[in-house]
Each structure stands twice: as C-alpha cells, then as structure tokens.
Amino acid sequence: MHAYALAVRRSARLARAAARAGLLAGLLAAPACASTPGSPRAAPAPEVELHSTYRLTVYDGFGAGDYPAGDGPHAWADIDPQHDLVDSWVVPEDASPLYDPTEWNSAVAMPTADLSIRVETWEDARDLEEATVPLPSGDRAVLQWLPPDPSALVLYLHGASYDHAQLRSNSGAYLAHALMDANYAIVAMDSTLASTAGSGGWDDDPANASNTDLAAVAELVELLRSQGSIAAGTPIVAMGMSSGGQFAHAVGLTLPANAVVAYCAPGRASTLEATHAPTAWFLAAADSVFPTAEADATGFAAGLDARSVENALVVHPATPLYDQRFMRVAGVDEASSAAIADDLRAGGFVDEDDLWLAPGAVVNATLQSTALAALSDTQREAIAAEIEVMAADHELYDDYTSKMMGFLRQLL
C-alpha cells in the first residue's frame, strides 16, 4: 500500500493567548500582599512569559500576520477556483514550512524568523460542455470534457442534493481543471432520480438486479467506446461525492473501474469486502452525515490491504475562517466577504483564533447575516458550501486535489 495517511496538526493559540496564560499563572503564584501602618508594600510584579513572534508575508494570497514559531498559521492562494490552478507555493530555499506546498491552501510551520511565501498559479480557459446522451435506459444530461486520446475517463457522480452540474461548483470546477490538465476525459451524469426529479441520489446496491443507475453507467461507457471517445483499454475512474461516492464504490466493483475516488462516502461493507478496485477515500473530519466514516473506511482499507489492493485514506481537517474566503464565490467582493466572516464571529461559530466551534451544517442552519441575505440564492448556496468545507463537514472539497491526482498518477 502506498501510504497517503495525512497528519496535519494545528496550534489553537497565538502569542496573545500564551501571554495571557503566563500573566494568569504569575498572578496565581504571587505571594499575598503584606502591609504595615504607614508602610504600604506593592505586590511583586507578576512574571509574564513573552513569546517572540515573526512576520508571515503571503504574496498573491491571504494569511499574513505575526505568529510565534511552530504550527499555527494558514495560507490561502488568491485564485478563482472556476478557472485557476495552483502549481506550487514558493518558499525560501532553506525552509520547508508548508505542509501541503502544491495545494491551494496549506498550514504553515512558522520558523524562528520572518517568512515570505508566494504562490504560482495559471489560468485554464477550458470548460466542461453541456450535452444529452441517448442511452437505452433513457436520455441523461451530462457535463463532459472529451479530449482526443484521453489518458483515462473519469465518471463524476454527484451528491443527492445535486445533479450533474455539481461539477460546476467551486470545488468541482477546480477538480475538473486538474483532471483536464492530466488529459483525462470527464463525464458527469445525472442519477436516475436527478434525471426525473431534478436532483437525487444513486442506487449503490450492486445486488439489485434492476439497478438502473449501474445499468446507465455501463451503457454510457459502451456509448463512449462505440463513438471513439475512449479506447477499449482506456482506464476508468469512478469518482463521487456523498451518495455519488457510495455509488462510485459500487461502480468500482461491478463495471469494474480501474480506480475509485470517494468524497465523504465510506461505502457499503458488502461492496468494500468484495471489490478489487484501487480505492481512495477523501473524508471530512467533522462529517455530520457519515460521522463514523473514518472508522468505517479504516476497516475497509485494512481489508483491501489484506487483498493487496492499492488504497489511500485522507481526512480533511477544519481550516480557519478568514475574511476573504467568500470572494471565491462569483460576485462577492472583499467587503461583503469580510462582513459575512464578521457575522460568523459575532454568532459565536468560531473562537478568537477563527477556529470552528460548530458543525458546518449547524452554522448554515442558524447563521443570521444581513450581508448574506443580500445575495442571490446561488451565491448563498455557494457560501454555505465554503462554510462546510472550512468546518470539515459533509461537502465536496478541492483542498487536497494534488493528493487525489497523485493517487491516480501512481495507478494509471
């Protein structure tokens, strides 16, 4: 097994918190004040432990500030996720302070010196195309990218609250451009429910002989081969989110697929006990829909190890709130983004270091924000997704796109 286990640690306190702790300790340890008439004595001054801080400068991104040495700060690239991709962060030659130097955001291990970092990005003007594919089981709406002689075909399978257009979300678009850059063909197809009701999940039971979703996937692959869009031997990746991730495991078993990438979806035990498809789980640390996903996937991964099946398990932790986060949403300017962030702070959803105190789903259900109310339904939905990603709740995320691509590169 190629290890992709991720351990990202966060420090919850900055220098001001440490200073306050030192001040309190000094006050508690100070001896009682003694006095005699006409001879007042002041209590000894408390010893305050001072922590040196160092300046983090972030060019073409966010997260700059003064921090103590060690874990703690976080840096984010200033990109348009609909069109931009990150090549890498550039750091001094004598330092390697970023945990994820090829992702669009990363925790930073602050050295005992000032640090300046910048990020190299590039714009991808390509876009997914809307189409309708005629299948024996019924027409399906799709988003697709079909380059000549693709290296692999990725079947993207949406979540239950979405349809094929989920791949146009911020995280979906970023993932799609990374796949395009690797010369992968992409097809995002509606589930049976989405094709009839506008949204809905997938039937992930491979034992169901009348499973129309599995039948449609097989029909789609056959159509692409007959049209010459993919060759007979083109590797196939089943990639899905939530219900689509559960279904991706079933596709991996029954098609079969050459690889499975499941976001926020541990899979059925019976499917994972039988599959031989190399599998990567990209889970969320505070998933309110599948709260046992990490434990379940850990057990499934052990079973794959026992059968010598390649696998990876990556768990995305919560990342701090920052003022410019919602500028990722089209039409949201910096002032509006900061106002929404301030409303989150005022609502008590994050602590003084902007670390999350509530599940993302709870935040979205209870947040009161005038700035948010002034936006369109589409913008509010996109902002809700950004909140759930930051809080590591049940949402498609692009934070570990390089890790996902690395898993596929080692297989295909």
Tens-digit pLDDT profile for residues 12-54: 333 333 333 332 233 223 333 333 334 444 555 555 445 699 9
Q: Looking at the whole model, is its pTM more than 0.75? A: yes
- Confidence check: pLDDT of 319 > 70: yes
Place of tokens 């001054």: 45
At 43 the pLDDT is: 52
At 269 the pLDDT is: 98
Q: Please name every residue paired with 356 in a beta bridge, in sequence order, or none if there are none.
A: 350
> What percentage of residues in the chain have a pLDDT greater than 90?
85
At 50 the pLDDT is: 56
For range 346-368, the mean pLDDT: 97
For range 344-366, the mean pLDDT: 97
- Confidence check: pLDDT of 360 > 60: yes
- Say if CB 191 and CB 213 are below 8 A apart: yes
The full set of domains in the chain, from first to last, is 15-25+47-122 (no CATH), 129-317+399-411 (3.40.50.1820), 325-390 (no CATH)
Question: pLDDT by residue (tens digit) across 120-170?
Answer: 999 999 999 999 999 999 999 999 999 999 999 999 999 999 999 999 999
> What percentage of residues in the chain have a pLDDT greater than 70?
88
For range 369-395, the mean pLDDT: 97
Q: Give the CA-trace dihedral at 338, 343, 346, 347, to 10 degrees.
A: -140
At 46 the pLDDT is: 53
Distance CA 75, CA 145 (A): 31
Question: pLDDT by residue (tens digit) across 61-93?
Answer: 999 999 999 878 999 999 999 999 999 999 987
The residue among 238, 186, 185 whose CA lies nearest residue 213 is 238
Helix 401-411 vs helix 170-181: crossing angle, to nearest 10: 30
Backbone angles phi, psi at 122, to 5 degrees: -145, 155
Question: pLDDT by residue (tens digit) across 97-131?
Answer: 899 999 999 999 999 999 999 999 999 999 999 99
* Other CB atoms within 10 A of residue 178 CB: 19
Distance CA 154, CA 186 (A): 5
The residue among 240, 220, 257 whose CA lies nearest residue 144 is 220
For range 56-61, the mean pLDDT: 96
Question: pLDDT by residue (tens digit) across 268-304?
Answer: 999 999 999 999 999 999 999 999 999 999 999 999 9
Tell me the chain's radius of gyration from C-alpha atoms.
25
- Confidence check: pLDDT of 350 > 80: yes
113-131 as b/e: b if 16+ CB within 10 A: eebebebebeebeeebeee
